Amino acid sequence: MKIIRPFIIIIRLARESMQFAYQAITANKLRTFLSLFGITIGIFAIISVFTMIDSLEKNIRDSLKSLGENVVYVQKWPWGGNEEYPWWKYMNRPQPTLDDLDEIRRRSNLTDKACLNVGFRNMVKYKKNSISNTSIYGVSTDYDNIRTFDLAHGRFFSPFEINAGRKLAVIGHNIARNLIEGEDPIGKTIQVGSKKFTVVGVFEKEGKSAIGEDSNDDLVVIPLEVARTMVDIRRNGPWIMVKAKPNVDVADLMDELRGILRSFHRLKPLDDDNFALNQISLMKDSLDAIFSSINFAGGFIAFFAIIVGGFGIANIMFVSVKERTSQIGIQKALGAKRYFILIQFLYEAVLLAVLGGAIGLLLIFLGTVLVSSTTDFSISLTLPNIARGLCISAIIGIASGFVPAWIASRLSPVEAINTKA
């Protein structure tokens, strides 16, 4: 019973303090509104910054993930370049070829899947509709086993169809919507350049890529064997994607690929590589540093907005103490302890701050719904940011209300009763 009694006292104290705080807030609606407005703007500013940064980071990382975290890209040019390596040496490098792909497939023990792709642009037509400068990808077998994507309708090519050079196409969401208006695109014949293709699949809508990569929404994918008859793939920047086997470290795969390609290209031990091995982790490491700095800078700037709301609550609490001085004196004369008065005013400050923060979070949520529904940029208010906003509100409430509450708790009963508000 002795153990339970303190908890009963704490619960009763919290309930009574909350009642006093609620009465004070509802009795002064204008003052409450002004207090809420300050903290609402503060929480709206700081959590909006974190929400935008988190959403941007998520979109970029999702775009990178779709490229494959365990995939190595064999290309002519390295991502980011090398200042110590003359640009003209890059220009003299050969483009990746199908022979390179065959050599990797034949000799690599750490490779799970590999494919060669080429990208170019051309006009796409369907009846009287046309879309100029459309991105066209010619892909070899295993593209669908390496590149992450979903199909809304239809299917992807089979290995036989790719090797046989069948004139088939998988098109993006925007291509299907704008080119084949209101019709089922599966089975329709579209024209890419001078050749006609049968649509067998439509990519699921994915929105714009956050890293500048061609979005599947505006893409037409065709078999590589057909693409070779339409363009000179050596002049269109082909690239080889190599996916590591499960549980294989990508660094080990890159070392193996370097040895295979140097041997196949007959490079001497002291010769520089005439190819580039690019990997998503190189970009992810840079992103970690960039977003760490952005988070710090954004939080630092938004911090001042929440400070303004904190000063507003502190000012209102000082006024509240002044107005209720005689009431405090009566409570103390009736036996109210200092900690009861302290907690009573702290509750009021925290209640104001949390309520204002909740309104700010609601505004942010409505904003995210509006942005996501009207643009291709996906933005969402996450649970960690909601918890962060409410915690910041409560901390600001405690920090802003402590001094006024402490002053109120130290008032003399006699002087407080005789004080006029």
Strands 151-154 and 195-203: antiparallel
Query: And the tokens for 60?
Result: 């970029």
Residue 208: strand, helix, or coil: coil
Calpha distance 366→348 (Å, rounded): 27
Which of 116, 79, 142 has its CA nearest to residue 284?
79
Burial 287-319 (b: 16+ CB within 10 A, else e): beeebeeeeeebeeebeebbeebbebbbbbbbe
Determine the Cα–Cα distance for residues 230 and 259; give it in Å rounded to an integer. 33
Q: What are 108's two structure tokens?
A: 């690599």
End-to-end CA distance of the chain: 43
Name the stretches of the chain with pLDDT < 70. Answer: 1-32, 34-35, 61-68, 80-87, 208-214, 281-291, 295, 298-299, 301-302, 305, 320-329, 331-336, 339, 376, 411-421
324 CB-near residues (< 8 Å, 6+ apart) = 24, 408, 421
What is the per-residue pLDDT for 143?
93
Give pLDDT, residue 353: 82
Answer left, alpha or beta for residue 5, where phi above 0 means left and psi between -120 and 50 means alpha: alpha
CA–CA distance, 300 with 53 (Å, rounded to integer) = 13
Question: In the structure encoding, which two tokens stand for residue 402, read together?
Answer: 């402590």
pLDDT tens, position by position, 135-144: 999 999 999 9
Counted residue by residue, the chain has a size of 421
Q: Of the candidates 96, 224, 234, which has an alpha carbon nearest to the alpha carbon of residue 163?
A: 224
pLDDT of residue 288: 66
Question: Which has the closest alpha carbon to 352: 14, 22, 5?
Answer: 22
Contact 361, 45 (CB under 8 A): no
**48-62 confidence digits (pLDDT tens):** 878 887 877 777 766
Q: What is the pLDDT of residue 25?
A: 60
Q: Rounded to an integer, what distance in angstroms lies between the CA atom of residue 315 and that of residue 332? A: 24
Q: What is the pTM of this model?
A: 0.64
Residue 226's pLDDT is 94
For position 13, what pLDDT does the model report?
Answer: 59
Q: Which of 192, 176, 214, 194 is nearest to 123 (CA)?
A: 192
Give the β-pairing of 168-171 and 195-203. parallel
The tokens of 27 are what? 């009795």
